[in-house]
Amino acid sequence: MLSEKEVLKIFEYPKDRSEHWLIEEGSKNNNMKKFMVDLIKELKTLSKVEIIFGGYHLIENSISTGMESFGRTSLVGFDINYINNQIDLNNSLYLCYIAVLIDINDNLIEDTALSDWNFEEKFVKRFIQSPIINVGAIPLSEVDTDVRFRTIKFLKSNEQYKKHGKSGQDFTAEDAKWI
């Protein structure tokens, strides 16, 4: 089993980023960073899975195909009309993902009795009630394609803060059940 530091080394980070576990921050946003870090901490605690990473990207422009890529992930599977509606309303919309190591059979490397789908159902859905797309994977390397990160994706908008009386400044993973 790979350690967090070995995984980070594969991604060629110049420093130890294990204190916040984010593979990508497509647009720097302290609220999103805090939200994602808190969510990953909660998932690690509940699932006992140690190697969990995440990332997020701001979607700034209308979507035409639904196949658009953002960093290491894409919008495949999401409702294009919803995305474009949020953009038209000037809502900040983020493509977020949780990434867990899986094997060729889509089972978690750390717990082979747990599939990526079961991880999503048992743990991720406790916090994220908006549509979740469990499609796509980030390869660890071009050489070893049997081990990769499954990306469990969801969308998050600043409108979700407003609906629940949150300013965005104090939004944490504890509040994630509203998403």
In angstroms, rounded to a whole number, what is the distance separating the alpha carbons of residues 88 and 66?
16
The alpha carbon of 162 is separated from its chain's Cα centroid by a whole number of angstroms, namely: 22
pLDDT tens, residue by residue, 153-164:
999 876 554 444
pLDDT tens, residue by residue, 24-72:
887 777 888 888 888 998 999 999 998 888 999 999 888 888 888 888 8
Residues 6+ apart with CB under 8 A from 101: 2, 7, 51, 108, 109, 110, 140, 147, 148, 149, 150
Residues 6+ apart with CB under 8 A from 66: 75, 76, 77, 78, 80
Burial of 113 (0-12, 13-18, 19+ CB in 10 A): exposed
Residues 6+ apart with CB under 8 A from 94: 29, 32, 56, 57, 58, 59, 155, 156, 157
Mean pLDDT of 74-100: 89
pLDDT tens, residue by residue, 97-134:
999 988 888 888 888 889 999 999 999 998 887 889 98
pLDDT band at 6 (very low <50, low <70, confident <90, very high): low
pLDDT band at 178 (very low <50, low <70, confident <90, very high): very low
pTM of the model: 0.79
Determine which helix (DSSP H) or strand (DSSP E) holds 120, and give its type and residue range: helix 116-122
Provide the pLDDT for residue 33.
85
Strand partners, 149: 101, 138
